[in-house]
């Protein structure tokens, strides 16, 4: 399969590197990373140890079978407009937050929803580390069976990527949102690794953010219980205890965060008060305004 990865940062480069072991892959990203990949290939370390040779560009190719979108949520609309100029069969979001699929579908056909729990860390231009082997889950954004999703699932599995094709992506997306709503801002504000959320006082804050998210999901017609959301959060905290969350990485680098698409999305969709999510979103937004 001919695959373009739109947003070759840490996660995009990791997924693209894994795919390049089996498929024709083009990484679309920024310099100097792209030039380093052109010159010496992409090295994937951490849980893996291999170097592959994907194509690497700062502009889109004319066509591809599949686009994997891994840009930050606030760049989704720009990505969609750019991808509209590429002849694509399928587009799959592997991003954080809610609303990415809708923004992509405004400009593109064949959009799939996806989640990815592989841990990724950008080491230096031309190198990323896998900080934890997870899985990709994908399917139709509104749920139900999807032949397109099955085809993409087969392609990813053939590259050795743990992949599940599901008919309940709305619930999966809200579960991932509950996990991110608990982990990302809490670790970013406290400046701690994920494992610190296993103990009080941070455990209580993260768990309440997840419960509030589950409550809002039910308001939206999604069957996600409070304890199921907290159990999913706890499982990720345990599995990624030594990891640094993406939002903490952004804050450490002085970059804009995805707070609007995570806790901000919970607040925007809530009918009832969601005090913890509102507070976490406000604190991170205040940090962003300062910088």
Confidence of residue 34 (pLDDT cuts 50, 70, 90): very high
Q: pTM of the prediction?
A: 0.93
Average confidence (pLDDT) over 237-242: 93
State the catalytic residues: 176
Q: Name the pLDDT band for 129 (thresholds 50, 70, 90).
A: very high
With bands split at pLDDT 50, 70 and 90, how would you rate the model's confidence at 97? very high
CATH number of 169-290: 1.10.1040.10
The pLDDT, as a whole number, for residue 183 is: 98
pLDDT tens-place string over residues 166-225: 999 999 999 999 999 999 999 999 999 999 999 999 999 999 999 999 999 999 999 999
Give the CATH H-level superfamily of domain 2-165.
Answer: NAD(P)-binding Rossmann-like Domain (3.40.50.720)
The structural domains of the chain, with segments of one domain joined by +, span 2-165, 169-290
> For the residues 54-79, what does the mean pLDDT come to?
96
Q: How many CB atoms lie within 10 A of CB 125?
A: 17
Beta strands in 47-177 (DSSP E): 50-52, 55-57, 63-69, 87-93, 111-116, 119-124, 127-132, 136-139, 163-165
In percent, the amount of the chain with pLDDT more than 70 equals 100
> Contact at 8 Å (CB) between 16 and 5?
yes
Has residue 291 got a pLDDT over 90?
Answer: no
pLDDT at 107 over 90: yes
Q: Where are the beta strands (DSSP E) in 125-226?
A: 127-132, 136-139, 163-165
Does the pLDDT at position 142 exceed 90?
yes
On average, the pLDDT of the chain sits at 96
Check residue 109 and give its pLDDT: 95
Q: How confident is the model at residue 290 (pLDDT cuts 50, 70, 90)?
A: confident
Mean per-residue pLDDT for 242-264? 94
**SS3 state at 97:** coil
238: three-class secondary structure by DSSP: helix
What CA–CA distance (Å, rounded) separates 290 from 20?
40
pLDDT tens, residue by residue, 9-24: 999 999 999 999 999 9
């Amino acid at each position: 399969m001919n695959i373009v990865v739109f947003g070759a940062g840490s996660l995009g480069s990791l997924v693209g590197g894994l795919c390049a072991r089996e498929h024709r892959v083009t990484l679309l990203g920024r310099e100097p990373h792209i030039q380093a990949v052109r010159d010496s290939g992409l090295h994937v370390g951490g849980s893996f140890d291999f170097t592959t040779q994907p194509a690497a560009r700062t502009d889109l190719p004319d066509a591809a079978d599949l686009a994997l979108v891994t840009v930050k949520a606030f760049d989704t609309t720009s990505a969609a407009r750019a991808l509209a100029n590429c002849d694509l069969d399928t587009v799959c979001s592997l991003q954080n937050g809610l609303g990415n699929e809708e923004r992509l579908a405004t400009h593109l056909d064949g959009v799939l929803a996806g989640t990815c729990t592989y841990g990724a860390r950008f080491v230096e231009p031309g190198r990323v580390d896998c900080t934890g082997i997870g899985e990709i889950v994908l399917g139709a954004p509104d749920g139900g069976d999807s032949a397109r999703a099955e085809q993409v699932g087969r392609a990813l599995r053939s590259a050795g990527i743990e992949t599940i094709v599901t008919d309940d992506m709305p619930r999966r997306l809200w579960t991932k949102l509950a996990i991110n709503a608990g982990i990302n801002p809490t670790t970013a504000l406290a400046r701690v690794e994920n494992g610190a959320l296993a103990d009080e006082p941070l455990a209580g804050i993260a768990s309440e953010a997840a419960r509030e998210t589950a409550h809002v999901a039910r308001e939206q017609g999604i069957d996600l219980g409070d304890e199921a959301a907290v159990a999913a959060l706890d499982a990720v905290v345990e599995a990624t205890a030594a990891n640094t969350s993406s939002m903490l990485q952004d804050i450490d680098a002085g970059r804009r965060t995805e707070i609007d698409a995570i806790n901000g999305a919970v607040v925007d969709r809530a009918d009832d008060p969601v005090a913890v999510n509102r507070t976490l979103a406000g604190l991170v937004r205040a940090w962003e305004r300062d910088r």
